[in-house]
Every structure is written in structure tokens, then in C-alpha cells.
Chains A and B, each alone.
Chain A
Amino acid sequence: MASALHIAELRKSYGKHCVLDGVNFDVPEGSIMGLLGPNGAGKSTLIRSIMGIVEPDAGEVRIGGQPWSRAQARRIGYLPEERGLYKDMKVGEQAVYFAQLKGMDRPDAVRSLKKWFERLEVDGWWNRKVSDISKGMAQKIQFICTVVHGPELLILDEPLSGFDPINARRIIEVIRSLASEGTSILLSTHDMPSVEKLCDHVVLLNQGRVVLRGASDRLREEGWNGLQEVAFRGNDLSFTNALGALAHLDGIEPTTAEGVRKAGIRLRDGVSPSAVLEVLQGQVEVQEFIKVRPTMESLFIRAVEVQEEASESKAS
């Protein structure tokens, strides 16, 4: 798959402090890539380097296959984490200003903005001053200003912060829709549920280095520790006896209101899920038999811990 954004060996230090230490990754075209990492991992510096706000010490940034240039960077739709609007300006006038800075002519900007205002249901606010609108409304305007020029690559830093659940869902739908139309998106966030919902790729930074990257499904598959979940109706003892030597039982959750119990099991080597299912069905009523893949959050925590342990042992 072609790369919408290519980062190779990117390095940046402030004095003696190394913030980016040879970062490499690609954002595939049309994908939504989650940029994850604990605070101070170097995410903001990485984004600022891509946008040309910070000049990297070394490395390469290619946008849409082309070497970095300010004109290329200007095409990117960038929504920074710390964002704001001019309080004394009218909403519409301000949105037109930002669209013009992205290279749009005024008539095109007004046309495109009117559509976006309608889509995000803020069309009645065009002539209002920013100081008169709510925080959530201002967030929507900022989002519109980011996408108004139809960028091929979007960099969104915590795009859902400040939104109530209803508006957050609306923004998630818009992000998905943009991706389905071919827009590539790099999404930096600490909100793991939104990563699960949105991102088909992730890159995890820690201490300025990439510690995990790839397609979300593949990473979760690779990170699977063999845990399966069986939902059943019936007696615990019958279930445990039936499981016998085929699998190791991790534990059984209390019965739900519907009388269903959930057990975590790990199959012994050479045992197939269908063999276990066949044995169990004779003893209990099996409702569900699913593979429990790790969450992005658990992958995140594990990867960070592994890297920090490695760094500590190296240091000692």
C-alpha cells in the first residue's frame, strides 16, 4: 500500500535531551493510524516536525511520496491538541481566514465552509462572535477549519477532547467517513476506546523511540496470549470436569442475570478449539466461544513496560 506519510530515522534533541531517537513509520494511504505514547514520549515534537513547526536534526519526512516542503505541509489538515480561536472575530469570518491560509480562495472557502457548517449543525453560528459560543461549538469550528480544504492527510491531536458523547460520536463518524473517502489520518490520543474504534494501524512511541507499530489486528493477534472466553449455562463442576486436561482454566466469572457464566481458558498444546467445544457441549450449554485478543491499552502498557525494563537493565 502506498504511503501517505513516510517518516525515516527522524531525530531531534533539545540541548542534551533527546526527544526523537530515530523514529521510523509509514501511514498507509486511506488508513487511520493511532499515534500513541505516554506523556513526554515525543508525540508533539514528532507532529511539529512533520508540520515544519520544529526543525528536526536528522531524518526524512515524505508527504504523499514527495520530500517535505512547506507547500506539502500546508496541504495537511492539522488539529493541534492546544487549539483555539480568536475571541473577537466572528465564527464564519475566522473560518474563512484559516481556509485562506490553507491556500483556498474566498468564494471556494465560503462554499466549502457552508457545507461543513451544515454537516456539523453549526450553520446558525456563522455571524456570531467566538466569545459567544460554547466550548463544544468552538471545538467543532476548529475541526471544520482543519478539514475545510479537503486535505489528503489529516493529523488530529486529541480530536475528541472537549466533546460530549453525542458530538464525539458525530466526529468519529466524520473521521471514519473521511477515511473511507481516501483521506489518510494520523490520530494522536490517549483515549484508548477511540483508538479501538477508529484506528486500523497504530504506532507507539516511548522515550522518543517506536516501540510498537503495525496494523491493529495484526498487533492484537501477535499479542494474543492464548486466552479464550467461554460463555455457558450449566454447572461449574460439570464444566471443569469436561474441560479436564484439554485446557487450563483461568477463572470463572459470577453468573449474570440471564444465568450465563463466563470462563477464561487456555488450550493445552495440540488441542483445537473444536475438540474442546465438542466435549463441553455434552456437559453444559455453550453460548459463546471466543478468542480474547488483548486490548490496545494492554498492548500499550506491556510494550512501554518492556522497553523501560530493557532501558533500566541496560543502564545498570
Chain B
Amino acid sequence: MKGKLIRTIVLREWRTRVVKRSFLLGTLLTPLLSVGLIAASVLLTQGVDVHNVVLVEDAPGLITRQDAATGQYVPRCPGCFPERENLEYRFVREAPEDSVWKATGHTVLVEYDESVMQNKAGYLVYAKSPGVKAKRNIERDLSRALEHARVLGSTELDWEAYQRLKLDLTLYERESTATGREEGGGDEIRGGIGFMFSAILFVVLAVYGGMIMRSVVEEKSNHVVEVLVATIRPEELLLGKVIGVGAVALTQLMAWAILSTGSFALFQWVFDAGLIGDAGAVSAANEVPADLMTVMAQNKGLAVLLDIQWGVMVAGTVAFFIGGFLLYGSLYAAVGATVQSEQEGQGMVMAIIMPLMFAYIVGSSALGNPTLPIMVWLGWIPLTSPVMMLVRLATGVTWWEALLSWGLLMLTARFILGIAGRMYRLGVLHDGGRSGWKLWVHWIKGDDR
């Protein structure tokens, strides 16, 4: 009977939220929007870059002569201006009026003060921004060309020798383990992915926890609670609510996962079939038309998505969501039972959500260092583990450590559920009058004064 009643509560909580136009709309739109964003970024980064024709004003030693055939000035260091996609350089002795360079097909003008060599600064003039990437490339190319000019102007250095002396060191990461050395690195990216999952969990816990609190406050204010607690034990009612609202959140997460996967698969099929995108795009490696995966792998930003261990992360998110929601959901319900209005509850919610927020902030600032003691500890502490353990799961953690952390979380959730149940039982019929922390302490002890 007890199970049947809890199931009835769970079903009502679930049904009244899921069978709603706003829920269906949110559930359908979110994955479509996220896949749409990925699709848009793939399509927009494909062959649709603005072609920048940069007119560079001369600085001491930057250009040599005018090419008779083309009429263009030739840079003293042609190697300093390598061929770049969507970037073309032209040079001029003196920067013309804006209307002039614009009229001659240039999109960007680079000009300097006379003391350019001293203050190492110039101006990038444009009608339409060339973009961050183009600006970075222009800065890099011009720095190198000016460096070249300075070296040539020096009596003590020659460019070849200077180039030989210059050294750009690259460090490849290797992790030393019991079985030898393994390819390392990428912690920051993996941590970022884990952080993305923990951010989703944090938001879901906060949003759906708030939903539980509102539901409890509503039942108090519309007086339904008196009939409910006359039928079912308040502790069971609380459990039913937490499971019911948690099931709504899980339904939405699952729907998002399925719809996102489906939408992505559809986009991949359409893209690979050449129905959308740049049909002429080719893989740099083998000169064959590129499929979506290749295009994504070539794009540093999108390649991150291919690194995700989706299975592990989804399973971990679900597991830590269940524990985290039982724990935080019951706390939210207890707060709802002890306040008279939603506004009154909001203040207390901040205190409850603080540990999760702390883990979220620590997680975001220490993404690349998953073995920092604070990351390890917060991954163990049940109040912070739902957020922190997902960051750690992404960066690699032993299975027993993850399992033990989850076990601790579930045990704590069970304990908190008991305390919250007592507070809920005594608080839910408390209609104003005395309130405050002293009363809370009595309720936690089960003393119904």
C-alpha cells in the first residue's frame, strides 16, 4: 500500500509537469537549438569567411620596390607574409584617405605613428571588423616583418643567424604510470567537458529543487496538504515529491540526450550527403570531400566535442543526479515546509545551494588540475560531489573512487531525507506564528512544539 501511495504521488508530480505545453516546448526546443548551434558553427566556419584585403602602410624597412608587372610593392621579407586563407596583403608608402583605400578594393588598413618602432603599436582601420582570427594573423605577420626590418637595420645581427637562434619550445605531455609512459595532456579540455556536465547538473538541481519548494509552498497555501498528510505519512509524501520532480528532470535530460543524438545524426547524414554545407570542402589530408567528422576534427573548437566519452559522462551524470537530487531535493522540500511563502524560501535556498555553488566555482577555476587536493576532497564530500565528481570523471578517476563517492552521496542523501522528513512533517502544518532557527532545531529533533 505504502509503495502504491508513493507511486500515486510520483505520478501526479510527474504528469502535472510533463503533460504541459511549456515542458514539451522546452524539451523539444533545447536540443534542436543546441544541435542547431553546432550546425550553424560548422556551416558558418566553412568557406564563408570574409576575404580580407589588407593595405599595410610602410614602416622603415618593410617594403623594397614596386613590382613592374603588378604595380604592387614587394615586402622585404616575403616569408613573413605567408599565404593565409582569406587574407591578402598589399603595401603602400603612405596611408591614403579612407575613401581612397576603400574604393580600391581594400577592406582593412594598417597605419602607424612615426614612432612605431619605439611604441610597438599601430592602428587597424576597417569598415567591417575582419574578425579575431584575422586580426591575430595580421599582428603576427607584421610583428615578424618589423622584427626582420630591425634585424636588418642592426650591424651586429643578420636575419639568418637570428632565425637560427630563435627557439619556440613545444612540450608534449607524457604521463608516467605503473605500466610505463602514456600520452598525457588535454586535462583542461576534458575538465572543460566535465565542467559542462557539472554545470548542467548544477542548473538542473537548482531549477528542479526550486520546483519542489514551490510545490510544497503551494500545497500549504491551497490547504491540500492537510488532506494529503491525513492519507500518507509526510515523510512518504516528501519522498514521492522528490522522486516525482526528479523524474521530470530525468525525463527532460533523457529527452534532450535522445533528441540531441537524433538531431545530430540527422544533421550528419544531411551534411555527409552533401545536401547542405560546402560541397567543395575537401579534407586537407587526402583531397576527398570531407565528411562532418573530418570537418569537426579540423576545427579546434568543434573537435572538443569528439573527445567526449559520452557514455561515461551520461551514466555519471544520471548517477550523481539521482544522489544529488535526493539530497538537495529533500532539503528544498524541508525549506518549503518551514516557510509561508516562496519569497521567504528564496533567502534560505541560497544557504542550501552554497556548497554546490562553491564546488562549481572551484571546479571552473581549477579545470586543468583535477588532482588538486581541494578538487579531490570536494569530489568526496557528498554536498559538493554531484558537481565536482563530474569534472573529475571527465579528467579520469578510478572506478572505485567514483563508486565510493557515489555510495557516500547516497548514504548522506538517505540521512538527509530522514531529517528533512521530520522537518517536513512538523513544518508543513505550521501556519505562521513562531518561526526561526530555534524552531528548526526542534523540528530536526522531531519535537513538535
Contacts and interface: CB of A to CB of B under 8 A. Distances in A.
A14 B231 contact: no
A97 B12 contact: yes
B233 interface: yes
Contacts of A54: 429, 448
Given A89-B16, A102-B231, A80 B8 contact: no
Interface string A93-112: 00001101111000000000
B237 to A, nearest CB: 10
Please list the 7 inter-chain residue pairs (A to B) with the smallest Cβ-Cβ separation, ordered nearest first.
A84-B222, A84-B223, A51-B230, A80-B226, A82-B223, A15-B449, A101-B231
Contact of B227 (A70, A103, A145): A145
B449 A14 contact: yes
A74 interface: yes
B8 to A, nearest CB: 5
Interface of A: 14-15, 48, 51-55, 70-71, 73-74, 76, 78, 80, 82-89, 97-98, 100-103, 145
25 contacts: A14-B449, A15-B449, A53-B226, A53-B429, A70-B233, A73-B230, A76-B230, A78-B227, A80-B226, A80-B230, A83-B223, A84-B222, A84-B223, A84-B224, A86-B218, A87-B222, A88-B16, A89-B16, A97-B8, A101-B5, A101-B9, A102-B231, A103-B1, A103-B4, A145-B227
A80 B1 contact: no
A97 B8 CA distance: 7
Interface in B402-449: 429, 448-449
A259 B230 CA distance: 57
B302 interface: no
A100 B11 CA distance: 11
Given A14-B449, A89-B16, 6 more contacts: A15-B449, A84-B224, A85-B222, A97-B8, A101-B8, A101-B231
B363 to A, nearest CB: 37
B4 to A, nearest CB: 8
Interface of B: 1, 4-5, 8-9, 12, 16, 218, 222-224, 226-233, 429, 448-449
Given A97-B8, A103-B1, A86 B224 contact: yes
* Interface core residue of B218, B226, B449 (most chain A CB under 10 Å): B226
Contacts of B429: 48, 53-54
Given A71-B1, A103-B1, A52 B230 contact: yes
Interface SS majority for chain A: loop
Interface SS majority for chain B: helix
Contacts of B226: 53, 80, 82-83
A88 B228 CA distance: 17
* Interface core residue of A15, A98, A100, A145 (most chain B CB under 10 Å): A100
Contact of B232 (A84, A101, A145): A101
Contacts of A70: 233
Given A15-B449, A101-B5, A83 B227 contact: yes
Contacts of A103: 1, 4
Given A101-B5, A101-B231, A103-B1, A80 B223 contact: yes
A102 B8 CA distance: 10
Contact of A85 (B1, B5, B224, B231): B224
Contacts of B218: 86
A20 B449 CA distance: 14
B340 to A, nearest CB: 14
Contacts of B230: 51-53, 73, 76, 78, 80
A87 B449 CA distance: 31
A75 to B, nearest CB: 10
A85 B16 CA distance: 14
A300 B314 CA distance: 68
A144 to B, nearest CB: 13
A145 to B, nearest CB: 7
A135 to B, nearest CB: 13
A184 to B, nearest CB: 17
Contacts of B12: 97
B216 to A, nearest CB: 13
Contacts of A85: 222, 224
Contacts of A76: 230
A53 B8 contact: no
A14 B8 CA distance: 33
Contacts of B4: 103
Nearest to A14: B449
Given A86-B16, A100-B8, A53 B229 contact: yes
B408 to A, nearest CB: 33
Contacts of B9: 101
Nearest to A87: B222
A82 B224 CA distance: 8
A262 B294 CA distance: 107
Contacts of A71: 1
Contacts of B232: 101
* Interface core residue of A14, A15, A53, A55 (most chain B CB under 10 Å): A53
A90 to B, nearest CB: 10
A97 B233 CA distance: 16
Nearest to A13: B449
